Structure 1
């Protein structure tokens, strides 16, 4: 098949990383893989791994993006792809407006992925106009059914798959561990409680600090590590977190390490990974990432994050928003040895097979 994926940019983030990984896998299987985006730091990797990249300004949340409809129709007419897969709302509008004016007998199959629980507006409804819709978790699947006019038979739930070559129990080498301890000597001899994720109010870093204050009363040998940077123009939130750390007396008990590209190694060195978002996440990628690396996880029992935990490590589930219960659970996990299992449906191979099956089913129906 000739497959075109369209997304705003290729800089960073779960959607972008997932697109690049999926493109690599389908190219390796012999499909003609093309990605259309406004560009970004991941383009070189994408091209090196066998995918063609076409740069196009499909990222602006502005009416000016409608000027890209005709160029997109021209591009699709020239490329003659079998499938166009849209992964974000602005690209979805551009592609759909271009696609609907193409001859039905020759236009490509149109697929979208709901990567989030988007606002229920006409703007977001574009994601449901594709011929086939993929949801990244059961909670997103239900959200689509509850809020958008999409026939149930057109929706397929396919979890975002992890690359086992990156996320596995061997992800942390002794050399990496030694380098980390040299950089952060306060971690030496401590049991590491990890909090990964960009610094954002709803991601739960404040709750994590409050939980650590309670946990240290039970487990004085622990040390918290927060991995992640503040979003652009929200750097002040880091200052607020540092002030809260000081107020709770945790200056020598919690370390902020900023943005890291080696998160898999942190899972390998951690005793427990925490997921404490204050609202349901569509997927919660850090949970299966940690489990794949053999790290126990504690997370609130809601949203997409709870789905992988229910499947692979139910001992880590905690009543939502109960910080005292969370500290108690982390303490229990530290004192007990558990088997950790992550089903194959959370790995990249299953995602690729499931997505290609959606493509093939759509093309068969069109034929």
Structure 2
């Protein structure tokens, strides 16, 4: 079987977890005996190269917005490569931004197609619990019911859609997507994600957050939780974003600035060292995030994970004591203390859960089964 993955960006060009996930999928597919060939087509430059055994063809640069124009351009560009695409058994769009364009190409070329819905950009902002403002409010009011409906219809032309969590699938089906056309398959854990030995001489209990500093990530509730934690607990925040200044101000105003450390962005290759130095990981999001790659990274590192009971992370965490209502700092603090108390037991359980349900071999096999289904 020959598979063509289509994505906006491919490493080393990384914008977020999506690029890491598509790289893992491409490399796992390329290593399989039942996959004859893998090609990645990306829209982040113009060159042909091979990266870790994966052939990557970067064909042009891509602009994300507005979706109507960008998808028309993506479909037009892909159609220029119709002879190349016809040589593949399945095309797979790994990014929701390209799903309408892939629906068009699938119909025009009679190609079996799969698309991963890894965000909610095809839906109104209210679908993920936000109140749109400014230009986005105008777009949601004027275009989501009109051109947005067309984009969702074109997305429905794809043979099978993948959602990364049950929460994400529920949201998409609420907005008219066919339930039977959506398969829930999570992202895979990184098989090369090795965590160094944990330091043994630390006196502090380190609570770790890794991610963007944006309002919907709920980091302010983690900072607010600091005042309800014992004096020997510290919070380490890895990542950057528009909310950083306000979050630093919050830490100062609440008197926990000595317990909260802002690290800024660090290279992905250094993230594993941060997990090794941590005792508890927290994912305090206040929106139904489609998945949560940092959650499975922390679990792979053997950490107990505290998360809010919304979106994909609530699918991943199977202990109610570790799930909190969104925007509840006191509940987060209580869950952190519980996680630390049972750190070793929960950490071991998390490692086993990753092996059983999120290993690269297991997830890749499920995706290949889907390829076989749509191409039969």
What residue in structure 2 maps to residue 184 of structure 1? Answer: none
What residue in structure 2 maps to residue 353 of structure 1? Answer: 365
Structure 1 residue 241, shift from structure 2 partner: 1.4
Structure 1 residue 172, shift from structure 2 partner: 2.2
Map 1:261-340 onto structure 2 (within 5 A): 261=268, 262-310=270-318, 313-337=319-343, 338-339=345-346, 340=349
Structure 1 residue 86, shift from structure 2 partner: 1.1
Whether 1:101 and 2:115 are equivalent positions in the alignment is no
2:62 maps to which of 59, 66, 71:
59
In the alignment, is the contact (CA less than 8 A) between 1:300 and 1:306 conserved in 2? yes
In the alignment, is the contact (CA less than 8 A) between 1:137 and 1:282 conserved in 2? yes
In the alignment, is the contact (CA less than 8 A) between 1:58 and 1:68 conserved in 2? no
Question: Structure 2: which 5+ residue stretches go unaligned?
Answer: 125-147
Cα distance in 2 for partners of 1:283, 1:356 equals 20
In the alignment, is the contact (CA less than 8 A) between 1:276 and 1:300 conserved in 2? yes
Cα distance in 1 for partners of 2:283, 2:164 equals 18
Whether 1:156 and 2:161 are equivalent positions in the alignment is no
Map 1:39-78 onto structure 2 (within 5 A): 39=44, 47-57=50-60, 59-60=62-63, 61-62=65-66, 63=69, 66-78=72-84
Cα distance in 1 for partners of 2:370, 2:52 equals 23
1:253-288: CA deviations, max 9, x gaps?
111111122222222221111111112211122222
What residue in structure 2 maps to residue 38 of structure 1? Answer: 43
Cα distance in 2 for partners of 1:15, 1:166 equals 16
Cα distance in 1 for partners of 2:96, 2:332 equals 36
In the alignment, is the contact (CA less than 8 A) between 1:112 and 1:128 conserved in 2? no
Question: Structure 1: which 5+ residue stretches go unaligned?
Answer: 182-187
What residue in structure 1 maps to residue 88 of structure 2? Answer: 81
- C-alpha distance 65-158 of structure 1, shift in aligned 2 (>3 A): closer
User: What number of residue pairs does the alignment pair up?
Assistant: 333
In the alignment, is the contact (CA less than 8 A) between 1:283 and 1:305 conserved in 2? yes
Greater CA drift, 352-361 or 254-263: 254-263
1:257 maps to which of 244, 259, 263:
263
Cα distance in 1 for partners of 2:177, 2:312 equals 22
2:60 is paired with a residue whose SS is coil
1:148 is paired with a residue whose SS is coil
Cα distance in 2 for partners of 1:47, 1:332 equals 47
Cα distance in 1 for partners of 2:311, 2:102 equals 30
Cα-Cα RMSD: 2.4
Structure 1 residue 314, shift from structure 2 partner: 4.2
Whether 1:166 and 2:193 are equivalent positions in the alignment is yes
In the alignment, is the contact (CA less than 8 A) between 1:114 and 1:136 conserved in 2? yes
In the alignment, is the contact (CA less than 8 A) between 1:59 and 1:91 conserved in 2? no
Q: Structure 2 length normalisation: TM-score?
A: 0.81
